[in-house]
Structure formats: C-alpha cells, structure tokens
Structure 1
Amino acid sequence: MLESITPLILTYNEAPNLERTLQQLQWARRIVVIDSFSTDATLDILKRYPQVEVTQRKFDTHAKQWNSGLEQIQSEWVLSLDADYVLTNALIDELKTLFPAPEIDGYFIPFKYCVFGKPLRGTILPPRQALFRKGRSHYIDDGHTQLLVVKGQSESLSNPIYHDDRKSLSRWLWAQDRYMVLEVKKLQETPLSELGWGDKVRKQKILAPFIIFAYCLIIKGGIFDGWRGWYYALQRMFAETLLSLRLMEANLRENSRTNQPSQNPD
C-alpha cells in the first residue's frame, strides 16, 4: 500500500526534529510540506530530500493549513504527520502489507511519547487518525488543534508512531501559552452538555493539574521512566496549570466588566 500513500507534514521552525521524520519517509514517492515561513534551517533540511514539495502559507488555523495541504495530494491515501512524528520500522512494515476494504476510509495509529529520544512506558496521547482516504476526509478546527472528519468506517493499526519533540523548553512554553488561549475559547463557547468529562474537570480550574500529574506519574507508570517520566508529568501539569490560569483570567476579566460601577452622574 505504500505506493498509494502521500505523507503530509506541517512545519514551522522544526530544524531540531525534521531530519528524523524525513529519514523514516524515504519510501514515499512524494512528500507534501506546508511551511509557515520558517526562519531556522527547516527549509534547508527539506531541500535535501528530492521527493519533498514545499508550499509556504501564512498560518491562520491548523484546519486550514491541513486542508490546504490536502488540496495538493494526488494519491488515494494521506498520512498526516507533525514534524516531530517518527514512523517506527514496525509501522512501515505494517503499511506495506495493508489492504483496506472498500468501506474503510481511515486508520487510527497509536503513539508513544519520547523524551529526548527515549519512548515512555505510558502517556496521555490517544491514537490519532493519521492515515485516511483523501477524497473522503477533511479537517475542522477543534480548540488549539484540529479534528479530522472521515466519512466512512475506520480501523486501528497495531504499531506506533513516536512523538519525539526535541525543540527547546522555551519554544514549548511559548507554544503552550498560544494553545491554551485557544482552549479557553473552546471551553467557554462549548455547552457543558457537549464537553467530555476531561474538559468538564478542566473547567473547574483547580483539580485538573493535580489529576493529570498523578495520572501521568502513577497510573501511566511514568515514575518507572526515571527523570524522563517526571519531566513529562511536570510538563503536562504545567500545561494544565496554564490553562487554569487562562480560564481564571478570562472569568475575572469578564466579572470586572460586569461589576464595573456606573460612571453616570446622579
């Protein structure tokens, strides 16, 4: 099936990650990259791979970036990847022998989160529907990220993709703040009845950071990964704390406008 798949990648200043991703895509006849005007060595790395075709597009939303990439895909199947996703050899072998039934339009792929190159025992990353028929799928925005809408049935693959982000902690902190602003907007605009239990807990502001820390470290076994497990658990706790602060800020700002005393004279 490999010959009918085109990898699609979004990039913005991904020089610390991109080489590892592309090395595991050398089987692809064509790789489509949508770049948000990177200023580091990202474009230089991409030029070293002749099957890569780069289009630069100013970033507005994740869904619009992905959909613009889909418009450039000519093959039946798309493999959507972030620039820090690394296909395992086992997954590539599985793709070689994959023969989708006509009613199957997508596949969920499991993920293993890596900290400085080493996969953790367990993380909070759910499987992602990263392989799908181009003509039967499109993206919509969902908070700080995107959601793939697939028309037909979906199945799951057995072997994982590694999520191996080696950008600096400063870059991660910058990105998390941007993400959480969008997550606050989603949580405020979505009716409570339509939120999952996780988002309902997040709206309470206080509990979520402590729950996610215990979940990553104890329930998912991060404590057995040594300092890498602690690093990941603290990262996730920080992200949830940042979301709680952004939610508090939004609520307090709204309350201050509502309770502002009238300036009209008697």
Structure 2
Amino acid sequence: MLKEITPLILTYNEAPNIERILQSLTWANKIIVIDSYSTDKTLEILHSYPQIEVFQKKFDSFASQCNYGLGKISSEWVLSLDSDYVLTDELIDEISALQAETAINSYSVRFKYCVFGKPLRGSLLPPRKVLYKREKGIYQDDGHAHRVVVEGNSIILYSHIHHDDRKPLNRWLSAQDRYMVIETQKLLKTPTSELSLGDRIRKRKIIAPLIILIYCLILKGGILDGWHGWYYALQRVLAEILLTIRLIEAEKLQN
C-alpha cells in the first residue's frame, strides 16, 4: 500500500525538526510540502530530497493550508503529518501490510510524546486520523488546532508516531500564547453545553493547571519518566496557565 500514499507536511521554520520526519519517509515516491515562507534552513533541507515538491502559501489557518495541500495530491491515499512527527519502523511495516482496496476510508494513529528524543509513558495527545483516502477528507479548524473529517469507516492502528519537537523554548512559548488566544475565543463563544468535559474544566480557569499537573505526573505516569516527565508536565501546566490568564483578561475586557 505504501506506493499508493503521498505524505503531506506543513512547514514554517522547521529546520530543527524536518530532517527526522523526512528520514522516516524514504519509502515515499512523492512528498508534498506546504511551506508558509520559511526563513531558516527549512527550504534548503527540503530541496535536498528529490521526491519532495514544495508549494508556498501564506499561512491563514492550519485547515486552509492542509486543504490547499490536498489539491496538490493525486494518489488515492494521504498521510498527513506535522514536521515534528517521526514514523516508527513498526508503523511503517503496519501501513505497508494494509490493503489499498478496502472498505476502510481512514486510519488513526496513537502518539508517543518525546522530550529531547525520549518517548514518554503517556501524554495528553489523543489518536489522530493521519492516513485517509484523499477524496473522502476535508480539514476543519478546531480552536487553535485542526482536524480532518473523513466519510466512512475508520480504525486505529496498533503502532505509534513519535511527536518529537526540538524547536527552542522561546518558539514554543510564542506558539502557545498564539494558540491560547484562539482557544480563549473558542471557550467564550461556544455554549458550555457544546464543550467537551476537558474544555469545561479549562473554562473554570484556576483548577485546570492543577488537574493537568496531576494528570500528567500520576495518571499518565510522567513521574516515572524522571526529569523528562516533569519537563512535559510543567510545559502543559504553563500552557494552561497562559490560557487561564487569557481567559481572565478577555472576561475583564468584556465587562
């Protein structure tokens, strides 16, 4: 089935990450990259791989970038990836054993979050639909994130993708603050009855960072991962604190 798949990747200044995902895609005949006008060495790295086609588009939203990318793909199947993902050998073997002609229209994959290359026992990352039939999928924005909506049957694969972001902390902080502005608008504009349990807790503000700390360290076993687990837990707590501050600010400005 691998020959029927085209990987799709979004990039913007991903030089610290992009090499690792590309090294796990050497089996692909063609890779489509939608770049938001990177200014670091991302394009230099991409152009060193002959099977990569790069299209540049000014960023407006993740869903818009992905839907634009789908229009550049002609294969039946799409493998939608972030620049900080790494496909495990087990996942590649599992995908290669799939049948191209099937009643299944999409496959979801579980993630292992990595801190400086070390996979953690658990994280907040849910399974995500990453492999699907191109003609069945369309992307929609969901808060600061995005998701693909795929018609028809879907199953979860057994193997994992590693999420291994090595960008500097200042890039992470800047991105999280932008994301939390968008999340704030989503939480304030969406009726509480339509929010997930997690988002309802986040809307309560102060309690969410404390719950996240306990969830990451105890329920997800992060305390057993040593300083890597603490690093991840503190990252997630910091992100929730940013959201809490943004929520308080937005609510006060409305009064």
State TM-score, norm by structure 1. Answer: 0.95
- The answer to whether the 8 A contact 2:32-2:72 is kept is yes
Alignment of 1:225-236 (within 5 A): 225-236=225-236
Structure 2 partner of 1:29: 29
Alignment of 1:126-205 (within 5 A): 126-205=126-205
Structure 1 partner of 2:239: 239
Change in Cα spacing, 1:25 to 1:195, as seen in structure 2 (3 Å) is same
When structure 1 is superposed on structure 2, of 76-85 and 186-195 the one drifting more is 186-195
Q: Distance in 2 between matches of 1:46 and 1:101?
A: 31
SS at match of 1:16: coil
Structure 2 partner of 1:45: 45
SS at match of 1:162: strand
Q: Deviations over 1:100-124 (max 9, x none)?
A: 5633110010100000001001111
Alignment of 1:1-12 (within 5 A): 1-12=1-12
- The answer to whether the 8 A contact 2:4-2:100 is kept is no
Q: Deviations over 1:177-224 (max 9, x none)?
A: 000011111111111111110000111111110100110011110011
Structure 1 partner of 2:209: 209
SS at match of 2:49: coil
SS at match of 1:158: strand
Gaps of 5+ in 1: 256-266
Structure 2 partner of 1:85: 85
SS at match of 2:132: strand
State which structure, 1 or 2, has the greater radius of gyration over its C-alpha atoms: 1
SS at match of 2:21: helix
Q: Distance in 1 between matches of 2:25 and 2:101?
A: 24
Q: Distance in 2 between matches of 1:150 and 1:60?
A: 22
One-letter amino acid of the counterpart of residue 86, structure 2: V
Aligned length: 255
Q: Deviations over 1:57-115 (max 9, x none)?
A: 00001100000000001000000000000000000001110115633110010100000
Find runs of 4+ consecutive structure 1 residues off by over 6 angstroms. none
One-letter amino acid of the counterpart of residue 253, structure 1: L
State TM-score, norm by structure 2. Answer: 0.99
Q: Distance in 2 between matches of 1:101 and 1:57?
A: 33
Q: Distance in 1 between matches of 2:35 and 2:155?
A: 30
Q: Name the % identity.
A: 62
Structure 2 partner of 1:249: 249
Structure 1 partner of 2:117: 117
